[in-house]
Structure 1
Amino acid sequence: MTSGTLMDLNGVRVLRCASDGPLLDGEQAALDLIGDAMGYEAELVAVPVERVADEFFRLRSGIAGAVMQKFVNYRVRLVVLGDLSEHLSDSTALRDFVHETNQGGHIWFLADEDALDARLQA
């Protein structure tokens, strides 16, 4: 299993991944995290932005779509936590993508754990 901490935030079981560990860089990495979440009976996986491969943020690579589709298919929510400003400054498409994704209830890009806590209160 991945190194992480299971926590309860507003009644949601969250697997908070450590900042060191394998990169979220494709479908197999997504499946590994989903398996860890299921092992912990977590509903949501919170991955620090440091653990997300740069290619994920290049939408043309298709990695973000493939990873997100796995999480949706297995009904495990995904949150990328941390400062995305460097990635967002390089791509209008990515800014739009993050904005649209954050409107839904399954995949979020949030600044920190406080933002996640607030989002789960709603």
Structure 2
Amino acid sequence: MDIRVDRQGDSKVAVVISKDVLIKDTQDALDLMSTVSYTEQCDKMVIEKGCITETFFDLSTKLAGEILQKYTQYQFKIAIIGDFSGYKSKSLKDFIYECNQGKQVFFLPDEAAGLQALHRLP
């Protein structure tokens, strides 16, 4: 895993890069959040969807809700980037739409879009 920090003015966003699945459960998500917060002093993160277990995208498992609730509780902002068009679940599509309307969690197509969304947040 590599972490690169993107800076725009006073805003810092950690870009997490890995070929491995880094988030398999809630504890992995908390550990990653802690690592990014502690080592990079960032409370915003961009991560590729391939770094997150596919179970996350099956809303019936409740994994996405548990993880994103923790991130929200700790005021840690995240942009998950990748192609989400392959998912047919209407509830997942609705979930992604609702997240993208907020200011905490984003599902976006690429790193540039993720950085743009996160840098505009305080």
Report the Cα offset of residue 121 of structure 1: 4.1
What secondary structure does 2:75 align onto? coil
Task: Please say if residues 3 and 17 of structure 1, whose CA atoms lie closer than 8 Å, have aligned partners that are also in contact.
Answer: yes
Correspondence for 2:83 = 83
Report the Cα offset of residue 114 of structure 1: 1.8
Q: Structure 1: which 4+ aligned runs deviate by more than 6 Å?
A: none
Q: What letter corresponds to residue 42 of structure 1 in structure 2?
A: C
Report the Cα offset of residue 20 of structure 1: 1.8
Correspondence for 1:92 = 90
Task: Please say if residues 47 and 78 of structure 2, whose CA atoms lie closer than 8 Å, have aligned partners that are also in contact.
Answer: yes
- Structure 1: any 5+ residue segments left out of the alignment? none
Report the Cα offset of residue 4 of structure 1: 1.5
What secondary structure does 2:86 align onto? helix
Greater Cα offset, 110-119 or 53-62: 110-119
Task: Please say if residues 21 and 50 of structure 2, whose CA atoms lie closer than 8 Å, have aligned partners that are also in contact.
Answer: no
What secondary structure does 1:67 align onto? helix
Greater Cα offset, 20-29 or 105-114: 20-29
Correspondence for 1:101 = 99
User: Once superposed, what is the RMSD of the aligned Cα atoms?
Assistant: 1.7
Amino-acid identity (%):
27
Would you say how many aligned residue pairs link Structure 1 and Structure 2?
Answer: 119
Structure 2 CA distance for partners of 1:10 and 1:61, relative to 1, 3 Å: farther
Instruction: State the alpha-carbon separation in 1 of the partners of residues 82 and 92 from structure 2.
Output: 15
Q: Deviations over 1:22-76 (max 9, x none)?
A: 4322211111111112111112111101111110000000100011011111111
Instruction: State the alpha-carbon separation in 2 of the partners of residues 23 and 117 from structure 1.
Output: 20
- Structure 2: any 5+ residue segments left out of the alignment? none
Correspondence for 1:20 = 19
TM-score (norm 1): 0.88
Structure 2 CA distance for partners of 1:18 and 1:117, relative to 1, 3 Å: closer
Task: Please say if residues 13 and 115 of structure 2, whose CA atoms lie closer than 8 Å, have aligned partners that are also in contact.
Answer: no
Greater Cα offset, 51-60 or 111-120: 111-120
